[in-house]
Structure 1
Amino acid sequence: MSPWLNSLLVDHALLRLPWRNWGVVESGALYRSNHPLPWQLEQAARRHGLRSVINLRGHRPDCGSDALGRAAAARLGLAHADQPLESRGAPHKDRLQRLIGLYRSLPRPILIHCKSGADRTGLAAGVWRLIHGGTAAEAARELSWKHGHVAAARTGILDAFFAAYAPAEARGVPFEEWLADEYDEAALRAGFRPQPVAAWLTDHVLRRE
């Protein structure tokens, strides 16, 4: 199957033709979207002066959208980095720390994307806010219905991640220090309980990765 057919039919890019799920995290620095098709990436690069792309899905050799996105980034002269995150699991400390490193090393403006632009992209946008002086509440607002995020489902563990930082924030502990020294991934996972109907919706209807 060609990359285009795989992207449109298997990876559901047909649904992303009318729905870009675009967002501005920080104008001139960080933008967010669902997985862009080549001409969508080109339009965004031209309009916003993009210089880098961070793929939050990670490298997927059998995914047509992945192949098309890499080729488009190369053609446009954009730096392209992979930093896979989870949408329905407790965020991994090492992956978030590597994401922060990419934020600081890649040329800006940067586009971050996952598949739908709802969950992993919201998490990554929230982390950007926290390392640039934002609060846990501001970070959590990047996970919203507006972008298709469902807090009651298993994807709500990402909301719980930002909520877990809030008490440390109140004590004056910087986010990166909390992430390195206090964040307990296992405890977050053990303590989170999604609502069954919402979980069924995201897992079997929306088919979130």
Structure 2
Amino acid sequence: MKTLPTREDFATPKGRRRAWAALMLGDHGVLRKFYDNTHNVAPDKMWRTYQPSPALLAAWKDKGVKTVINLRGDRPSGALFLEEDACEKLGLRLVNFRVYSREAPSPDILQGARALFEEIEYPAIMHCKSGADRAGLMATLYLFFHEGKPLDEALDQLSFKYGHVKSAKTGVIDLAFERYMAYARDNNIPLDDAGAFLAWASSSAYDPAALKREYKPKPAASIFADIILRRE
């Protein structure tokens, strides 16, 4: 089993070099110089993006950003330590809010996302590794919960133009929303009713684990997303 890096390691010159190597290679930092998967979700208020380097965090600070939401969670990594260090120096608030790209979102994640969007200071950015799947999920929830967009419109954030591959394992996220929209239409529930959605998600009608077992990704799409793109 690979040993996770530690903050003690990061405090050494060798540890910082390893963190930078992990950010630029393992987290595709080099690729981001040629492909910038950053998009505005709400004008001058929220952006979705990929794992930022310290230099990019400084650029976000210069644009007025107050809050950085790390959707990868607080699992120890070189990227996390660099991000923590940069945010502390820049005076940015870093929030670690872990979501998953290959699972239907749990009721706790859905409730937690709504609460998070209510309490953070804006402008803000949210990021995962590549800015495709987890960022797409949370951008959808942000527009639905915080901006009042109908769910079917908000789901445009989960599309291939942002790198989201619906037919890969990540498509289980789409399936969860499709099930709710079918339920809402059958019961004449407006698709901008976030409260009704959360009530459904907290009921026995919604079973994230069962959806994951049911969902059948296309093998070629999963190879593309997991092996070629090396999605997390």
TM over 0.5: yes
| Stretch moving more, 162-171 or 32-41 | 162-171
Instruction: Verify the 8 A CA contact 2:70 2:126 in the aligned structure 1.
Output: yes
Question: Which one of 173, 190, 209 corresponds to residue 186 of structure 1?
Answer: 209
Q: State how far apart, in whole Å, the 1-side matches of 2:138 and 2:125 are.
A: 11
Displacement of 1:105 after TM fit? 0.9
Q: Which moved more, 1:106-115 or 1:18-27?
A: 18-27
Aligned twin of 2:230: 207
* Counterpart among 78, 81, 85 of residue 71 in structure 1: 85
CA distance in 1, matches of 2:116, 2:222: 31
Task: For 2:47, give the aligned amino acid.
Answer: Y
Q: Distance in 2 between matches of 1:73 and 1:35?
A: 13
One-letter identity of the residue aligned with 2:221: A
Residues of 1 paired with 2:33 and 2:110: CA distance?
A: 30
Indicate conservation of the 8 Å contact 2:22/2:79, yes or no: yes
Quote the residue 2:134 is aligned against: 120
| 1:132-151 → structure 2 map (5 Å cutoff) | 132-151=147-166
Q: Cα deviation per residue 1:157-207 (whole Å; 9 max; x = unaligned)?
A: 111122122124333263222222343213322331111110111111111
User: Which of 8, 12, 29 matches 1:13?
Assistant: 29
Partner SS for 1:80: strand
Q: Distance in 1 between matches of 2:206 and 2:130?
A: 27
Aligned to 1:101: 115
Query: Does the Cα contact within 8 Å between 1:157 and 1:189 map onto a contact in 2?
Result: yes
Q: Which residue of 1 aligns with 2:66?
A: 51
- The equivalent position to 2:180 in structure 1, one of 160, 165, 177, is 165
Counterpart-to-counterpart distance in 1, 2:60 and 2:120:
17
Q: Deviations over 1:25-53 (max 9, x none)?
A: 11132111011111112212322x21101
| 1:23 correspondence with 2:39 | yes
- Matched-pair contact (CA < 8 Å) for 1:90–1:188: yes
What residue identity is the alignment partner of 1:80? L
Unaligned runs of 5+ in 1: none
Q: SS state of the match for residue 141, structure 1? A: helix
1:89 aligns with 2:112: no
> SS of the residue aligned with 2:55?
helix
- Tell me, in whole angstroms, the C-alpha distance in 1 between the residues paired with 2:161 and 2:43: 19
> What are the superposed Cα offsets for residues 70-95 of structure 1, whole Å, 9 maximum, x if unpaired?
11211221111111111112212212
Cα distance 1:139–1:188, how it changes in 2: closer, same or farther (>3 A)?
farther
> Which of residues 164, 167, 170 is equivalent to 1:152?
167
Gaps of 5+ in 2: 1-14
CA distance in 2, matches of 1:21, 1:134: 23
Which of structures 1 and 2 has the bigger CA Rg?
Answer: 2
Counterparts in 2 of 1:133 and 1:168: CA distance versus 1, 3 Å: farther
> Residue 197 of structure 1 corresponds to which residue in structure 2?
220
